[in-house]
Structure 1
């Protein structure tokens, strides 16, 4: 009976670890409740098989039932599910063998006396801590290898110290049990401490994943709000432009009368200047269509209006279908950050300008995005790092990091340099189109 309780606890922890492993790496194709029911059913089968106390039977069923769970609950082909089921089985088996070897080396009599319940439970907690630590590292290693589009804070690897420290505490517990005769009450307290220690590790992992998910949702919400803001400003700009054009049309008769009076006096130069002034009026400029990407078009139109207000010449040449492979969030982050920096650098400079182009390199899946903007001074430090001109440089620089992250996610590269002869800053980005 006591062995059955240990087995039940062991499989409960393994089920939680499998849940975390699969949920963090794969996309589920079933609802949460269905996935939970399937996991419980499969691990109850595994629990009943363990009552036969056959090691090889336990390992075989652990591998098989994990494989079934991954195949039916996630968007995985059978050989990928087979691979990950093999990883889980290997890590689980190795963690038990490692702990067994450590205990036999440093506490050879710990599992004697008919495998006492307290000692068996401590052994179970010890090997599940090892299992949990390795799986925790594997999750983040696989995420890094797959170059997920989500951004992960590297500081999460510091959390690995917690399960490693817990393993050391467990080893201390085992040595205490081996070398000292403890009263039953204290023996139970050590056992419960081991269980609580494992529970704390699992909770720590779960809370960390929860916060990562919430941070990702917050970032996505901020990007959506930025897109909505761009669209709102775009349509507000169109409405204002429409009103100004109606006013200009209303006043056109008066302008023509003025031109006619100048013509009667043969004031050809004044007529030419008058017409040029009318033609260069912002009320006659066309903002509605710059490129065929809706979100990017809104962004470019907004920045074109900003540049006109700041007397910065703005030119955009985005070739057809060159940015359609980019997600809306990546388009917003990439182009808004680039143009924010360009506008800031070009402001208050006489005859300043911003030019941005995007074109596909012939016969390749690569897109080249080039931006040239006026810049009064070299923004690079002597060691080649970009220096922010803002009052608090430590609080800035995230725009460049965001651009670098997007470039990395699309297997591209970025070059930036300053031309001191023309006082211009150049940004060249190459992105690989995703199929």
Structure 2
């Protein structure tokens, strides 16, 4: 029962990562208050489909579910939606293979043995979702126009956080696998790793949101300065216009005087 709940949470986080990608890649169509409901429904559907335990069906349902969510919740064309979801599916498969294959070799478990152990399976899922999120973040970071900015360069330093998290997860699995540990302690480790995964997502999301806010604020300041310069320029033109009117008035007055003096000889 506990393992099923933990696995459901992992699939919920998978849907959250997809929304993270969509939210920074496309313009939101629906209100933000409906986003948690969409994430919950998407994660629930993916979890139920996963119970069939057929990888091909899981992959197809992952693609279809994300495509429907993208079309409903965000403004996107069919072409961009197909490409975006293909990127998500490709990265999800790659990250799962990256985690499962080396993990089974290092931990001395075959793929079939690891699938029979709920603890190892859940930790592998958590690690793969963390790696999946980092890949998604990297795609977003290097595909944006501001990828060469100073903020983006410093953002690379955040990668030390997920790397440290993965090392910690591997250490936990190693200790629990080769030493006698009761089930309650394993459950505590699983909950802790899920919190670590959520913490990584929250940190990266807040970081990217802060960058977006700073860019908007900087743009507002630039627009304000440009508007102020425009106002100053028009004030200068108005002042020059007033001075020109005064000068023309004086010249006209002097010409009239000269005309009167000329008529009176």
| 1:72 alignment counterpart | 72
Q: CA, structure 1 residues 183+48, in 2 after alignment: closer, same or farther (shift >3 Å)? A: closer
Is 1:12 the counterpart of 2:21? The answer is no
Higher relative contact order (CA 8 A, sep 6+): 2
Contact 1:162 1:201 (8 Å CA) reproduced: yes
What CA distance in whole angstroms lies between the structure 2 residues aligned with 1:197 and 1:57?
29
Query: Residues 150 and 31 from structure 1, CA distance in 2 versus in 1: closer, same or farther, beyond 3 angstroms?
Result: farther
2:56 equivalent to 1:56: yes
Query: Which protein is richer in helix relative to its size?
Result: 2
CA distance in 1, matches of 2:148, 2:245: 47
CA separation in 2, counterparts of 1:113 and 1:27? 39
Residue 136 of structure 1: aligned partner: 137
| Contact preservation (8 Å) 1:6, 1:120 | no
Count, aligned residues: 258
CA contact (8 A) 1:30 1:73 kept: yes
Q: Is the 8 A contact 2:13 2:43 kept in 1?
A: no
- Residue matched to 2:124: 123
- Partners of 2:67 and 2:164 lie apart in 1 by 32
Q: Secondary structure in 2 aligned to 1:181? A: coil
Q: CA deviation at 1:233?
A: 0.9
Determine the structure 1 residue equivalent to 2:86.
Answer: 86
C-alpha deviation, 1:21, in angstroms: 0.9
Match of 1:249 in 2: 248
Change (3 A) 1:149 1:133: closer
- Cα deviation, 1:3-29, whole Å, max 9, x if unaligned, reads 431331122111121111112122333
Q: CA deviation at 1:66?
A: 1.0
- C-alpha displacement of 1:115: 2.3
1:113 Cα offset (Å): 9.6
Paired with 2:46 and 2:196, the residues of 1 have a C-alpha distance of 25
**Shift in Å at residue 126 of structure 1?**
1.3
Deviations for 1:308-335, whole angstroms, at most 9, x for unmatched residues?
A: xxxxxxxxxxxxxxxxxxxxxxxxxxxx
Partners of 2:10 and 2:194 within 8 A in 1: no
Residues 140 and 47 from structure 1, CA distance in 2 versus in 1: closer, same or farther, beyond 3 angstroms? same
Rounded Cα–Cα distance in structure 2 between residues aligned with 1:230 and 1:257: 41
Please tell me whether the aligned partners of residues 46 and 62 of structure 1 are also in contact (alpha carbons under 8 angstroms). Answer: yes
Local SS of the residue matching 1:153: helix
CA distance in 2, matches of 1:149, 1:174: 36
> Cα deviations across residues 165-203 of structure 1 (Å, max 9, x unaligned)?
222222222211222223455434433332222122111
Q: When the two structures are superposed, what TM-score results if normalisation uses the length of structure 1?
A: 0.53
Question: Match of 1:30, SS?
Answer: coil
How far does residue 257 in structure 1 lie from its aligned partner after superposition? 7.1
1:225 shift after superposition: 0.6
Q: Rg larger in 1 or in 2?
A: 1
1:5-404 matches, within 5 Å, as: 5-109=5-109, 114-116=116-118, 118-143=119-144, 147=145, 153-184=152-183, 186-253=185-252, 255-256=254-255
- Give the secondary-structure state (helix, strand or coil) at the position aligned to 1:98: helix
Tell me how large the CA RMSD over aligned residues is.
Answer: 3.0
Q: 2:188 and 2:42 mapped to 1: Cα distance?
A: 32
Instruction: Please report how far the alpha carbon of residue 107 of structure 1 lies from its aligned counterpart in structure 2 after TM superposition.
Output: 1.4
Distance in 1 between residues matched to 2:225 and 2:126, nearest whole Å: 48
Q: Deviations over 1:17-72 (max 9, x none)?
A: 11111121223333333455444333332222223333332221101111222233
Q: Which residue of 2 aligns with 1:399?
A: none
Distance 1:31 1:192, change over 3 A: closer
Which blocks of at least 5 consecutive residues in structure 1 are unaligned?
264-435
Residues in 2 aligned to 1:24 and 1:90: alpha-carbon distance in whole angstroms = 19
Contact 2:141/2:152 (CA < 8 Å) preserved in 1? no
Mark the CA change 1:257 to 1:192 in structure 2 (over 3 Å): closer, same or farther. same
C-alpha distance in 2 between matches for 1:149 and 1:31: 28
Decide whether aligned partners of structure 1 residues 6 and 183 sit closer, same or farther in structure 2, where only a CA change above 3 A counts.
closer
